[in-house]
Amino acid sequence: MQALESGCKPCTNLRIYLFSTYRPVQTPGGPYHVAGRGAGFSRFLSPAVGGGESRTADGPCPATTQIGKGLMSTDTQKNFEMESVLRSLINTLQDSQKGFADIGEHLKDETLKRYFLAESLKRANFRGELENELHRHGIADVNETGTTTGKLYRVWGDLKAKLGGGDHTLLETAEQAEDTAKDAYADALRQELPLPLHQLLSEQQAHVLTSHDYVRDHRDALATAK
């Protein structure tokens, strides 16, 4: 009695291949019986009929193996790109959070001071939302420290305050930092991201653009008033 195998039958889901297998299997001290029950999923095969793989007479179904590897590689790459985008934005938001707080403490105008301190809290909230996205995708360790550019802006702002540059020069520094945040969001949204994440970043970007314009307009107003 010989094994009769019909090979792999592709279904509409490219990840799943069906089998039709009839193979004689002899149990210890017993007669032959037929392993397999016709078409079914490969994970239901007994070890004697393929150990959990869709198989042809010569071994694992090559189409299934190659498609599975390709899909896994694509998913891994997309997850890596998403993690890279989020970590970059988290660094930028950490810069913004610290920058608004530092400059806000030096501003003399009380309205601007309140705005800057509130904006610092807003950036911290944005950062938390993105960290939650990483956690949701199984990335537990989110320990970012900001960027070198952000640290330079904060040092520059402190120096201007100590030299008595006034609110106008501090707003210049803040506006330059906001340009960096604008570019970071624009770069992130050019990437291929899951729709819910893209929507979240779009909402955050809209706020960052509004904040940038607020800082720029007040900087220009102070320059005109001189």
pLDDT in tens, 58-70: 555 555 555 555 5
Can you point out the beta strands (E) in 54-155?
Answer: 55-56, 59-60
Q: What is the residue type of 222?
A: L
What is the spatial distance between Cα 192 and Cα 190, in angstroms, rounded to a whole number? 7
Q: How far, rounded to the nearest angstrom, does the alpha carbon of residue 155 sit from its chain's CA centroid? A: 30
Same domain, 109 and 179: yes
pLDDT of 49 strictly over 70: no
Over residues 14-31, the mean pLDDT reads 46
What is the spatial distance between Cα 209 and Cα 226, in angstroms, rounded to a whole number? 26
Q: pTM for the whole thing?
A: 0.63
DSSP 8-state assignment for residue 132: H
- Which residues contact residue 72 at a Cβ distance below 8 angstroms, ignoring those fewer than 6 apart? none
Q: What is the pLDDT of residues 95-130, one digit of tens each?
A: 899 889 989 988 999 999 999 999 999 999 999 999
- Domains identified in the chain, total number: 2
Same domain, 25 and 83: no
Strands 32-41, 17-26: pairing is antiparallel
Number of Cβ within 10 Å of residue 172's Cβ equals 19
- CATH number, position 174: 1.20.1260.10
In a domain, 216, yes or no: yes
Domain range for 22 is 4-60
